[in-house]
A and B are shown apart, each in its own frame.
Chain A
Amino acid sequence: MADRQPPNVVEGATTGADVEDEMEPVAKSAEDRKAAAALSKLDTHGDDDAAAPARGVDQEAVLNAMNALGGGAKGADDKKKQEALKKVKVDAADVALLVDELELSKAKATEMLKAHDGDAVKALRAFVAPAF
């Protein structure tokens, strides 16, 4: 890596916090807790609590807003499209053909076929045509 990372970036891999946080429910000795608190201050991964509402946030309004959002659902249009794709029937032999000829993963090949109504020739023609 060319540049030093900002000091408070924790390298993505195996940081101590990975397991540390997970262990929190288990009661620790007072000393441990102190150490852990100090640690979580250093380790900016453990951010959320420290950064907790610095400004007045209307808790109730937030909760209401949350409920109004609904479970992270996709837009209705997308859903319809996906369902339509799901219904397309795909021949296993065609999938095998695409996997072999185009060196794709099975999932990719199936997706490609579905996008072309399960028609292998159509899918292959689209593949061959320049994409620009």
Chain B
Amino acid sequence: MPQTLSTREANLFRTVIRHYEDKQYKRGLKAAEQILKKNPKHGDTMSMKALIMNAQGKTEEAFALAKDALTIDMKSHICWHVYGILYRTNKNFDEAIKAYKFALKLEPESVQIQRDLAVLQVQMRDYQGYVQSRFAMLKARPQVRQNWTALAIAYHLDGNLSQAENILTTYEKSVTSAPSKTDYENSEAVLYKNSIIAEVGDIERALTHLESDAKNSLDRLAVMELRARYLAELGRKEEAAKAYRALVERNSERPEYYKRLVDVLDIPEGDEAVLKAVYDEYAAKNPRCDAAKRLPLDFLTGDNFRAAAKAYLNLMFDKGVPSTFANLKHLYSDQYKRDIMPILAEEYLEERKSNQVANGDSSKGAGAALYFLAQHYNYHMSRDLAKASSYVDKAVELDPKNTDFHMTRARIYKHQDDTQKASEAMDHARSLDTRDRYINSKAAKYQLRNNENEKALATMGLFTRAETVGGPLADLIDMQCIWFLTEDGEAWQRRGNVGMALKRLHTIFNIFDIWQEDQFDFHSFSLRKGQVRAYIDLIRWEDQLRDHPFYFRAALDAVKLYIEMYDKPQGANGVNGIDGKTTNGEDAAEKKKAAKKAKKEAQKAEREAAEKAAKQDPNKPSAQKTKDVEDTKKKDDDPTGLRLAGTTDPLADAMKFLGHMLQFSPKNIEGQIAGFEVFIRKKKYLQALRCLKAAMTLDKDHPTVQEQITKLQKALDPILDTLPPKVQEVISLEFTPAVAKA
């Protein structure tokens, strides 16, 4: 039953809402208390109170109160809505959707609830639900274009392309006046429709549509690119060539344009001269253009290559382009090209010996060639570290103050496995240019490779924001500096500090979670801005987020660490933050000491925090209060990862990382191998078999894979009869023949 309030209280209730909106939580609470004094069982007020408490960071109490409110007033959409909001702020989106749906049932007219629900549905990829929500929203307000576009997007994401196009067309037909030429929303919507037509595969129609409807689109480049692509796909090569030439004229540095231009030119296979002529034309037209000179090196062979490479190298050395080697190493998969590069660089040195052009700048001329040679012999496909050293020495001799030269020297040390020297050399390079963030980061990375975590953090601290609470590390986490966190975690792992290593790896995991959540705002924002095509790209990118190599690396580290922890359970004292590589008596004692120290420190920090909290004036203005709330939210209650390292079920924790890893990077054999190790320890033989079969498909001669086959056989032999009959059957059907083949 709806509970009614007296006029006075109803007014008070509105103040509660207003205070909540203005983030004046204390006042809001006060007003809510006033109502509750007279009507202690008023569900809506209780819900609002819960909402305010949640905003103050008292999540658990808020949930309890909201639940009470619901039991009192089951039929109130406010109560259900608040419940949904609570779930949403705590990232439990599935439950939030349920609560919103209930609220909507009670109050089908609420635009607000409907909109929130729709956003949640698309966030959770419930596309069918999203279609329904969007349809309801369109029905409520068909005069707004956004609602039409949104419904089309919903159908599009749900895979119903023809309906998506149909929706867009329907709207276009219902418009009476022609859209203005500067209408950005219209321009984007038309191109969006075009992309849908192309996605269906009807290129002919996409081209027609593009040439008629999207001709005046504001995104000229997109129209040009699409048109060229469609023409090429339709085999209208002459027109396509013309279109691609127009694109090259517009931007002569984009390799893709050249490649596609060449594709439609029908050049006979292996005719390098004609091919090169295409590039030469643009190189002549744009003397400063790099792509037209660099790209031919990819396909030229023999003497043609030699001549072109020589010209290119000479130009680059004369100019002193530091990235020359990085730009050319892709050619090294070709033996001939790999061998000829150093010869050309040597020739250059010989020729320049007589006429010094360096005029004081060591990065040009001879210096550049020596630098190139040092990198050449340092590269893994053409490695000769002694030679690399001698070239870098010569380069340094030429100019002892050049950062790049010293940096290469450090890399050579690294490849000699002397991390100590490498770290020192890189730090020396850093000292030559303390305002260069790149070399600063490099120095920190080399320090981490040498297990100098504290030093590396100090180095990074030279470039982080000074005023960040929590110091450089907090800033690096805020800035989502994943490479640093990974390297730092791996260094801690090498030092045997499992807690810190896990801490960093979990931080990386959380950063990917944040990226996932970041899209939340864009469901409505992109629509409002009319940037629909970019939005679709975003959604598709988010769906593949965790196939990122950064994620894979961190996840693999974590899984391996957890397997190690499972195999070597720690002593009964329950402190396994510090894990020595060897477990002799001395180490154990040290471990205990270190753990004790860490515990003490943690307690001290806790005490300090408590004192700080106690000192706070309870009657502070609300602005200060909200800031405090933020601070407490940010505070890390396990800064050294002791709790993470103290897990009782490492395999379950490993699953958190492993699931995504296997789902998004199934073709990485390292991941499958690690997955097998987890599953066989969990005695989930079918899942282990799945990883094993995947690994066998990827590379059945991999030594670890062979080992794992035996391992699984050995594990299964004694217990096969005890497994459920259907599992036995699957194993005999899938495992036995696979082994026979291997």
Instruction: Say what secondary structure dominates the interface of chain B.
Output: helix
In contact, B20 and A19 (Cβ under 8 angstroms): yes
Alpha-carbon distance A29/B507, docked complex (angstroms): 49
A37, CB-defined interface residue at 8 Å = no
* 634-683 of chain B: CB within 8 A of chain A: 655, 666-667
Residues on A with beta carbons closer than 8 Å to the beta carbon of B175: 55-58
For chain B, residues 125 to 139, give those with C-beta under 8 angstroms from any C-beta of chain A.
Answer: 128, 131-132, 134-136, 138-139
Does the CB pair B734–A125 fall under 8 Å? yes
If over half of A's interface residues share one DSSP class (helix, strand or loop), that class is named, otherwise mixed; here it is: loop
Q: Which residues from chain B contact A112 at a C-beta distance below 8 Å? A: none
Of B23, B176, B693, most A-chain CB atoms within 10 Å: B176
Inter-chain contact B528/A44, CB cutoff 8 Å: yes
Q: Which residues of B contact A10 (CB under 8 A)?
A: 521
Q: Which residue of A lies closest to B735 (CB)?
A: A128
Indicate if A131 sits at the interface (CB-CB under 8 A): yes
Contact with B along A45-88 (1 / 0, CB 8 A): 10110011101111101110110110110110000000000000
Interface size on A, residues (CB 8 A): 61
Contact A66 B138 (CB under 8 A): yes
B14-57: CB near A (< 8 Å → 1, else 0) gives: 10011011110000000000000000000000001001001100
Contact A20 B160 (CB under 8 A): no
In the complex, which residues of chain A have a beta carbon less than 8 angstroms from the beta carbon of B135? Answer: 69, 71-72
Are A102's CB and B146's CB within 8 A? Answer: no
- Indicate whether A20 sits within 8 Å of B21 (C-beta atoms), given known contacts A57-B174, A65-B171, A130-B693: yes
- Residue B247 is within 8 A (CB to CB) of chain A in the complex: no
Let me know if A26 is at the binding interface, CB within 8 A.
Answer: yes
B723 to chain A, nearest CB (A): 9
Q: Is B386's beta carbon under 8 Å from chain A?
A: no
User: Does the CB pair A16–B22 fall under 8 Å?
Assistant: yes
Fill in one digit per residue for A90-103: 1 if any B CB lies within 8 Å of its CB, else 0: 00001001000111
B379 to chain A minimum Cβ distance, whole angstroms, is 31
B726 touches A121 (CB 8 A): yes
Structural contact, B144 and A56, CB atoms closer than 8 A: no
Could you say which residues of chain B place their CB within 8 Å of the CB of A22?
77-78, 81, 107, 110, 112-113
Query: B167 contacts A101, CB within 8 Å?
Result: no
In this complex, how many residues of chain B approach chain A with their Cβ under 8 Å: the count is 83
The complex places the Cα of A100 from the Cα of B44 at a distance, in Å, of 43
Q: B146, A56: Cβ atoms under 8 Å?
A: no
Whether the pair A127, B686 counts as a contact (CB closer than 8 A) is yes
| Contact residues in A for B734 (Cβ distance below 8 Å) | 125, 128-129
A56 to B143, CA, bound (A): 9
Q: What residues of A have a CB within 8 angstroms of the CB of B132 in the complex?
A: 72
The 5 closest A-B pairs by CB, nearest first: A16-B21, A72-B135, A21-B112, A61-B174, A12-B520
Give residues in A with beta carbon < 8 Å to B: 1-2, 5-6, 8-14, 16-23, 26, 28, 32, 39, 44-45, 47-48, 51-53, 55-59, 61-63, 65-66, 68-69, 71-72, 74-75, 94, 97, 101-103, 120-121, 124-125, 127-132
B residues adjacent to A (C-beta < 8 A): 10, 14, 17-18, 20-23, 48, 51, 54-55, 77-78, 81-82, 85, 88-89, 107, 110-113, 115-116, 119, 128, 131-132, 134-136, 138-139, 141-144, 146-147, 160, 163, 167, 170-171, 173-177, 179, 183, 478-480, 514, 517-518, 520-521, 524-525, 528, 655, 666-667, 684-687, 689-690, 693-694, 697, 724, 726-727, 729-730, 733-734
Kindly list 19 other residue pairs between chains A and B, CB separation below 8 angstroms, not including A12-B517, A61-B174, A128-B730: A2-B479, A8-B525, A14-B55, A18-B116, A23-B14, A48-B141, A53-B143, A55-B175, A56-B177, A57-B143, A61-B173, A66-B138, A72-B136, A94-B726, A97-B727, A102-B684, A124-B727, A130-B694, A132-B697
A-B contact list, 7 entries, CB within 8 Å: A1-B514, A14-B55, A19-B51, A20-B21, A44-B528, A94-B726, A102-B686
